Amino acid sequence: MASTDAGSLPNLTNQFHFYSDPTSAVAGCVKAGISVFLDPYSAPLRDAFEEKLVTEADIERNIRGNLRMRMRLGEFDPPEMSPWDKISGTEEPWYGEKNKALARKVTQESIVLLKNSDGLLPLDKSKLRSIAVIGPFGDSVLVDWYSGMPPYAVTPLEGIRNKVGPNVRVRYAPDDNNRNASNLAAESVLDPAQANPEKLAQLEAVKRWFNDDWKRIEPKLRTSIVEGVSVFLSLFDDNSKVKRVFCPKKECYDPQKNADNRFGKPLPSFSWLIEQGSVCALNFPIGMNAGLAKALGVMMKLDFERAVLNRVPKMEAHPEQYFRQVLFLCDEYQHFATVGESDPTGDEKFFREGEFGSPG
């Protein structure tokens, strides 16, 4: 049996212009061996037969395959010869647990996990307190027009609830209206009693920033910030060498996995460079990429200031210890300045708290 796809017959004339009219198109399909049409075909096929573009022998040759397939399927057999006639019971077979388990197994084996960072999956439900299911299709099953109608359906939300059981709170937000999704995501964390305290503190800091700072920013400004970050990240994709240096793989910073520097050599911290008395210089012709040059320069300056300020408590705690003097020299400083006396990244705050002289 050979079948057309839906729309193929009219496409032969309307889109591809392979035939001049539907009559010659359907005749060409029959000559090619087509025996099933998914488009209206009876009228042009009748015309083709009357115009002697196809013969009765052509049609008989093609439908032999159709009849042969139907015979092998048992459509013409008496009911007692059909194996399905022996099915007993009032419940449809596909509702049985055995067949449900098979359907679940087929579904699981059809899924491809492309990434599993740090072995996050599978989750340990004994450590879960709550789960947020977010997205417009989180509580629905989409039916493809080729798949037919399923006898039953299990949505992602239902499946997760069934899997984790009643001891884990599972909530759903189809979208972020009234910040529903954001709040659910922030509240659905590992059990604090079993979580890493440092990571839990980081999460709480992010939640404070998101709720107290980010949400208060005017929406247009938030959009501008997101676009700026996207543009900045794209700068590293313009040059693979720059990307490898400033965005190395995560394994690069693992002292065990990267003992032989197979993943690259990580950049030393400014704290280490300062204590070693090293010189760190950025020589980047701004004409090559003005945006990238400014971004790298500002980040280097901020990281330097952070390292210097972190020395202040150590200097106060150990007045007897010698600490190297530091120097930050910047040409065209106005391009790299971050102003603000109260801004955490403001240069004025850095010079005031570090008791340094103002930039010239």
The string of pLDDT tens digits covering residues 100-131 is: 899 889 988 998 988 888 888 888 888 888 88
Cα distance between residue 189 and residue 183, in whole Å:
11
pLDDT given at position 60:
94
List pLDDT tens digits, range 134-165. Answer: 999 999 998 877 777 888 889 999 999 999 99
Q: What residue segments make up the domains of the chain, in order of their start? A: 8-80, 97-216, 220-353
Residue 36: which pLDDT band, with cuts at 50, 70 and 90? very high
For 50, the token pair is 């009357």
pLDDT of residue 358: 45
- Supply 155's token pair: 């949505």
Tokens of 6: 């839906």
Quote the pLDDT of residue 360.
42
Q: Is 96 or 54 the better-scoring residue by pLDDT?
A: 54
Q: CB 84: neighbour CB atoms within 10 A?
A: 8
Q: Which of 3-17, 111-125, 213-227, 263-277 shows the lowest per-residue confidence on average (mean pLDDT)?
A: 213-227
Backbone dihedral angles phi then psi of residue 307, each to the nearest 5 degrees: -65, -40
Mean pLDDT of the chain: 83
Mean pLDDT of 342-360: 64
Taking the whole predicted model, whether its pTM rises above 0.75 is answered as no
Secondary structure (3-state) at 286: coil
Distance CA 67, CA 71 (A): 6
Q: Tokens for 212? A: 């107290």
What's residue 22's pLDDT?
Answer: 94
Distance (Å, whole) CA 174 – CA 140: 10
In this structure, what token pair is assigned to residue 250? 């995560």
CA-to-CA dists, residue 283 to 78, 244, 287, 291, 328, angstroms:
88, 18, 12, 14, 14
Q: What is the mean pLDDT of residues 165-184?
A: 84
Q: Which of 70-84, 110-124, 133-147, 339-353 has the lowest mean pLDDT?
A: 339-353
| Cβ atoms < 10 Å from Cβ of 135 | 14
pLDDT at 176: 79
Which segment of 20-24, 185-189, 301-305 scores lowest on mean pLDDT?
185-189
Give the pLDDT confidence score for residue 230 in this predicted structure: 72
Residue 343, pLDDT score: 65
pLDDT at 8: 93
More confident residue, 209 or 1: 1
**With pLDDT > 90 as the criterion, what percentage of the chain qualifies?**
26
Which pLDDT band holds residue 359 (cuts at 50, 70, 90)?
A: very low
pLDDT at 281: 83
Partners of 95 in beta bridges: none
Q: Which two tokens stand for residue 19?
A: 């035939």
Q: How far apart are CA 313 and CA 333, in angstroms?
A: 28
pLDDT of 12 over the 90 cut = yes
The per-residue pLDDT for 20 is: 93
